[in-house]
Structure 1
Amino acid sequence: MSEDPIRCGWRGMQGDALYEAYHDTEWGVPEYDPRALWEKLVLDGFQAGLAWITILRKREAFRAAFDDFDPEKVARYGEADRARLMADAGIVRSNAKIDAAISGARIYLDMREKGEDFSKFLWAFTDGKPIQNDFAEIAQVPAQTPVAVEMSKALKAKGFKFVGPVIVYAFMQATGLVNDHLVSCHRHAPVRAMGA
């Protein structure tokens, strides 16, 4: 019987198959697809005030409720869609967060219409490559950084909501804009290699 690999010491992850799979296959992997980046930014916005595992467990319900995060469809949502989403027990029901997702889709499309690629916009903050950290302990991992503050300000200036520096830094970690896997974690070196 093989031993479990060494992972980052996130509270509540050990023994949770969904959480471990997310950590082992997705978190920290550099994401360049603009639509996927927008989806993750929306989900991180919905996480505000909640544990990430809550959102992770509801992610498929979110995808179903938000038309697989197709910005073209979400941007056209009206009052009936808002009511449908607020009645959907499978997602986090918050008027402010739902409104932020809808307006965020419109901003995303407006950027695209003006020739501004959402992925290039985000990756410009890290000069197009992941920031590589070498933290030994969870306590060393910051909640936000100057780069996250800068990205947060730029997103807010475009009109995005639920994009404070702490949310933005969690988004950066999730999408591989930064590699915050601990050096002892079995994913640190493979994720670092992806950003080379």
Structure 2
Amino acid sequence: MGYYFKKEPLYEQALDHFDYHLIALYDQNKYNELMHTEGLIKNHLKMQAIITNAKAFLDIQKQYGSFDYFIWSYVHHKPVLHHYQSSQDIPAFDELSTQISKDLKKHGFRFVGPTIIYSYLQAIGIYNDHEINCDFYDHEINCDFY
């Protein structure tokens, strides 16, 4: 089991079950409590970014109707099917993840670099980076965007 997954229950409890509505309301007292909670990150900037990003997430929801609509609008609400022969062909980031990273930072997000965003795009299904001979490679996806 990966490091993060071992810590997930601790973070879930400390961060109110990842309820971004509540996280966005955290004040200095809650921040101090988190910084003194055994097992959580001690990087002040990263801990503050959790709170800042929750606020920015809510702002995007308000502005665009939903974060889902916002993020999928970059690909015209259609998944992108890449044509990679092997996992070594998959980049760490690309032009789109770089653009989204820049835009998220303009919206107030922190610690959202192009590599993190590329992984996020894979995780939420915007990017299908399965190898062409993989069972999960979807030959039916219309990938006019990329």
Structure 2 partner of 1:45 = none
Distance 1:65 1:148, change over 3 A: same
* 1:95 corresponds to 2:40: no
Q: Which runs of 5+ in 1 are unaligned?
A: 1-17, 19-52
TM-score norm. by structure 1 comes to 0.64
- 1:36-55 alignment, distance < 5 Å: 53-55=2-4
- Find the counterpart in structure 2 of residue 108 from structure 1: 57
Alignment partner, residue 68 of structure 1: 17
User: Which structure exhibits the higher relative contact order, with contacts defined as CA atoms closer than 8 Å and separated by 6 or more residues?
Assistant: 1
Are residue 139 (structure 1) and residue 78 (structure 2) matched? no
1:182 to 98, 122, 131: 131
Number of equivalent positions: 142
Matched, 1:79 2:28: yes
Which residue of the partner structure matches residue 157 of structure 1? Answer: 106
2:6 to 57, 60, 63: 57
Cα RMSD for the two superposed structures: 2.2
CA distance in 2, matches of 1:71, 1:166: 23
Aligned equivalents of 2:134 and 2:16: distance in 1? Answer: 35
The answer for unaligned runs of 5 or more in structure 2 is none
Distance 2:34 2:112 in 1: 21
Write the distance in 1 (CA, Å) between the matches of 2:139 and 2:51. 36
**Taking structure 2 as the reference length, what is the TM-score of the superposition?**
0.83
The structure-2 alpha-carbon separation of the partners of 1:174 and 1:91, relative to structure 1 and needing over 3 Å to count, comes to farther
